[in-house]
Amino acid sequence: MIAIVNPAAAGGRLGNTWPRLRRRLQAAGFDPPLAFTEAPGHATALAADAVRRGETLVVAAGGGFPLTPAAVPDDGALDACLVEGTGVPARLSRLVAGVRGTLAHKPGSHELRFTRLDLETDVPIPCHFDGNPSSIEPPGMTFSVLPRAQTVITSATGG
């Protein structure tokens, strides 16, 4: 696992608040190795390099990976990106498309929005849950919204 931090995000506010945010993440038990971006597009290069090194989880702070760009954290819906089976070479191009927010435009990628999904399968399906590698085993799995069930650490927004 590696966390990629864009200190220039939000007009430089992420860089200014990063030390405090990192302490909060550490207190929550999350303290991965860090890589800081230095220029536009650098996060994509860092993420691609991490995948080539065999990293299975890349976390982004600032700018992020807009896999589901239309997702709204508090709208009561779940957003997911379904990617049909791909070979190893295609995975890197999918990662780059995910970073750019264009994954849904790639053939075989589908953005989904739902409050409940009953997924049935006869065979194990490899997947990622919020970036964590996993698999869905037969007979399947149900996904549903649990209002106010998750605490999200974020910086305050102006308004």
Summarised one tens digit per residue, pLDDT across range 25-82 is 888 888 888 899 888 778 878 888 888 888 877 777 775 456 777 777 677 888 888 8
Supply the angle between the helices 88-100 and 42-52 in degrees, to the nearest 10.
160
Whether residue 121 is predicted with pLDDT greater than 90 in this model: the reply is yes
Mean pLDDT of the chain: 79
**Residue 17 phi, psi dihedral angles, 5° rounding:** -95, -5
Q: Which helix (H) or strand (E) holds 103?
A: none
Residues of CATH 3.40.50.10330 domain(s) within the chain? 1-64
**Distance, CA of 133 to CA of 111 (rounded, Å):** 19
- CATH T-level fold of 71-159: Tumour Suppressor Smad4 (2.60.200)
Give pTM, 2 decimals.
0.49
* Helices vs strands, H then E, count in the chain: 3, 9
Residues of CATH 2.60.200.40 domain(s) within the chain? 71-159
Q: Which CATH class is domain 1-64?
A: alpha beta
**Distance, CA of 95 to CA of 1 (rounded, Å):** 15
Neighbours of 71 (CB within 10 A): 15
**Distance, CA of 89 to CA of 103 (rounded, Å):** 15
More confident residue, 123 or 8: 123
